[in-house]
Structure 1
Amino acid sequence: MLCSIEAINGKNICGYTVYMKEDEVLLLPGTRLRVKNISYDSSIRQNVIHLVEIANENHKKPVPIHNPISSTSKSLNNASGSTNYTEKFVSKTTIAVNQDLSNRDESQKNIESSVTTFSNGDRYEVIYKKGEKQGHRKLYTASGETYDDLRADSKANGHGIRICSNGDRYEGGFKKGRMNGYGSLYCANGYTYVGDWLGNEPYGNGTSTWPNGNHCEGFHKDGKIHGYGTYYSANGDEYQGDLTDGKAHGKGLRIWADGDRYKGEFKDDKKHGCGTYNYASGGEYKGNWANDEINGAGIFKWPSESQYDGTFKNGKRHGVGKLTYADGRVEDGAWENDTFVG
């Protein structure tokens, strides 16, 4: 990280050092500086802290709100190519966990027939007609006997391998012709599930893996992630916590690949309730959230040790709050849309 300083009372020492072609300023002992703004210089790919000398102790300017670059906010670019951070307290939105097993469901809709071969040599065949859930069933035993439909189901038990007409493959336990117990499903579209089954549906502990590399470990209910689970995104993001119908719902911990993290309450895959957001850059917000935004009472701390304690609205200081600067100055009172109004 680089720093630039706007000096007022410094002494120009250009020509007295080995750097003859450069302007140099010597700051006097006791010089006080404040942060003017923080920007990102794309030409050198680094953050630049712009400091300015404080000439009048009573002169106060609002502290800039530095937010880490986020995919959820649009930065403003000036003519020089540097990035100015917006004044909003930016936090990353919660990436949808999306464990509703839609990949499996879509694949299963295309099955016209399946053949299951059991470890004892029996063969169980199912032919599906449009709109039928079970289809016409036949079981051929290794000893040469043949059974239809319900009688076939009653014999279709144990460990087997099912091959479906659409390319899906299941290997594991069966009970009355249905996937039951522990087993592994490999869909032709790339989705896989390994874990517990009940009545042809994932039910119990298991791991779902998607074609894009995302995977989730946890409890499944009625074919969806439900209860406590851990979700790993292929890009390095991670979620640990409560899940309802495949979405982060309840208490959990969300960790982004760049180091940002949020620990607290979620609702429908969004930060909602009480929680703490830690920025990889060193900042922290602790307080209330609503619909994935900072809303309500909370405390925001900057890496510089400046701190705002008060109310927020849609990610901005709004209402009553107290801003304490790192140098001890205080702005205590009413705020509107991130501006101190007294």
Structure 2
Amino acid sequence: MAIFTLLLSKYYNLDTKIHENYSIFKMNNLCIWLCLIFLFSAFSVSSTTNILTNTVDGDNLFKLIGKSKTDPLVRDFLNKLGEKDKSLSSNSIWTYPNNGMRIGFYKGDIIDKIMLYDNSYSVNETKFVAYSSKLPKHLSWRDTKSSTIIRLGKPSKYNSNYMEYDNLPVEVVFYYHGSRPKSRLRGVLLRFKNCISGDCQNGEGIYVERDGSRYEGEWKDGKRHGKGQLIYKNGVTKKGFWEAGNYKGQDFFASNGLYDLLGKHKSSEEVKSASNRQKDGYQQIRLAYDHFQYIFNNNKLRFYFNDYGVLYKVAVNKSGFGEVSHPLTEKVTPYSDQNYVAYIMGSPYKKYQYRTGSTWLYKDKQFDLRIRFDKNKIMDGIDVTVNGEDVLISAEQGSCKTGDCQNGFGELISESGRYLGKFKNAKFDGQGTMYYASGGYYKGSFSAGMREGRGTYIWSDNSKYIGNWKNNQKNGVGSMHYQNKSRYEGQWYQDQRHGRGSMYYPNGEHYIGDWSYNSQTGKGTLYKNNGEQQKGIWVNGRLKAAF
């Protein structure tokens, strides 16, 4: 300002002598104006710089946490800080000793934390100047522990030389020179706040990751544990149960979506979670043809797995009706009789009558439903099975070990077993051999991933089928050698003895005649081992009319 005044006085002095020496005045006047313009410009730039420096300080620093380097606000802030100290900086930490600041980046891009220092801090003998702009919450380096508590209230965490507050837009930690209440502030740490609501240690809380994903649910020991949902940045949501931070699958029982498990492998997280969440555990039993059954000890459910290890049937007893549902049975109660079921669901496409009750069969687009009734015609249970023509397998979902597993000859390893043979469009197609993880193997023809055509299947119990297949099922003409030494030769339909066939029993007897869905039904003759013949009309394995 003194220089500015001096120049003005010089201007007026020259002005009084304008007539004495006009040329000198003209030259000096030009110089004076140039000086005035330069000083005004310098003053303007200096003023503007001070204003811009203060655009992001104090509580405004909160806005930087969680933002990328490409964000306009961050770019502007970093430009104002100037050159970082390269000797004290890395990809994840940028250091500014002349600004009393260090900035931490998550994955080298997102601002994860900002540390502000007073003039007592140094790194590798490089001394920091005090951060001179406004501190958050209108604090200053003169504030003490006591004054901080008076201004901000009780901290969420308190230690001898620092206090932490988690009730602000970001987590803020105030560091002090000592442990006494009058110890002065020496540093302020602002860091990304993950837990934005509730208790993310032991309770229920909302936790936000730096990449934008968000978990809402239960916690234990600081890890996702219990029921919750994880919402990704792109909007995809994963609901279910977690254990020690690991996703364990959906809550099929609580959501009444148990049948969504059909088609899943028994080693999948969904099936494991659904099985383990049943009270009292379960028993695993090997059935014929290397199928498996889970019998739950609460007497509510049974899971059935095929030779691929895929869940193909869920059986629900009356006591489990309240925990599962299906669109076709949502209006049917556990104690509905046959008349009410027929009224609600219509007539079944097939009925089976037994001494202990009966079974009605229904179909929808995806499932086969078998409704079981007791001898009093009251509902006793429901079985839901994947349709025969839609048998779900996961054998192709594996890794190609050798060869061409797209269109050629290759070897593929999956959770269902090992396949060696021809591929077409990444599916088993042509001649090949499938060694199932359950124990047996099939050698023969495949089509679109399924057993189709002529082939031989030998199960782990040494039972064997040689014949025709369709959609993974015995279909056409073939012979079946059973574990108990009996043998069937004849026609098959959807894995069942159906049509004309002969059955040879271990005791020497044999039946030749008609079959319907695994039972002797129609014209046939039973040849007994004593030479006697029972010839006539058979129904469900019993001779009804002899001739």
Tell me if TM exceeds 0.5: no
TM-score by length of 1: 0.45
- The higher-RCO structure (CA 8 Å, 6+ apart) is 1
TM-score by length of 2: 0.28
More strand by share: 1
